[in-house]
Structure 1
Amino acid sequence: MGYRLVAELAMVVHFLFLAYLAIGGFLAWRWRRTIWIHLGVVCWGLLSIVTGVECPLTVVEDWGRRHAGLEGLPRTGFIDHYIEGVVYPEEYTNAARWTVAVLVLFSYAGYVLRRR
């Protein structure tokens, strides 16, 4: 398997991870046991925002890119490279984070109400 493929797979998995972070709580309305996976994802997301810990997927993608002879990811990481300034302007980072937080809280409220 080529290094570039490793980098691209890490990038795709990273995007899927972020999508699951935003909407995984809603998936738990249908598949109840997945709530535990989503809680882990949310905890990782919070940890990375609060502490700045580097995501292993970012490390893998950067490694693959560099070994494939491509430019590595900027030290600011995956979200700064692919999301901020591309999907939304950088000045809306906190609004984007709060939007995801509201989605997660709403999905969890729905999860609890549907369980009753």
Structure 2
Amino acid sequence: MMYRLLADAAMGVHFAFLAYLTLGGFLAWRRRRTIWIHLAVAAWGVLSVVTGVECPLTLVEDWARRHAGGAGLPASGFIDHYIEGVIYAGEYTNVARLAVAVLVLFSYVGYVLRRQ
């Protein structure tokens, strides 16, 4: 039971992290100090996509699911399991990544313009 809760919590935090990655730059328009947090989150996102480094949240969720008696996450990881093929078709992965990048860059442009 405890492992299942930990796995579900890791999944929830992971979804929140991805939502913040996508939209958190807009929060900085009103809460200026949060830009530093968002820059770190965006840097991790870029590092993860470019190098394929495994997210610690994926590792925690997979570990907890296995200890709860489940199969764990597939080798492809969190996004491939919960998002790709569910929210968008797998062949549109690069389009989805580009859309997120455009949103982040737009939020940063807005942040700079609002500071002036």
Q: State the distance in 2 between where 1:50 and 1:108 align.
A: 21
Q: Normalization by structure 2: what TM-score?
A: 0.99
Q: Secondary structure at the match of 2:104?
A: helix
Q: CA deviation at 1:16?
A: 0.2
Q: CA deviation at 1:57?
A: 0.1
1:6-29 residue CA offsets vs partner (Å, 9 max, x unmatched): 000000000000000000000000
Match of 2:97 in 1: 97
Identity %: 76
Q: Give the unaligned 5+ runs of structure 1.
A: none
Q: State the distance in 1 between where 2:4 and 2:115 align.
A: 44
> CA RMSD for the aligned pairs?
0.7
Q: Normalization by structure 1: what TM-score?
A: 0.99
Q: State the distance in 2 between where 1:96 and 1:23 align.
A: 14
Q: Give the unaligned 5+ runs of structure 2.
A: none
Runs of 4+ in 1 over 2 A off after TM superposition: none
Alignment of 1:1-116 (within 5 A): 2-116=2-116
Q: CA deviation at 1:73?
A: 0.3
* Equivalences, count: 116
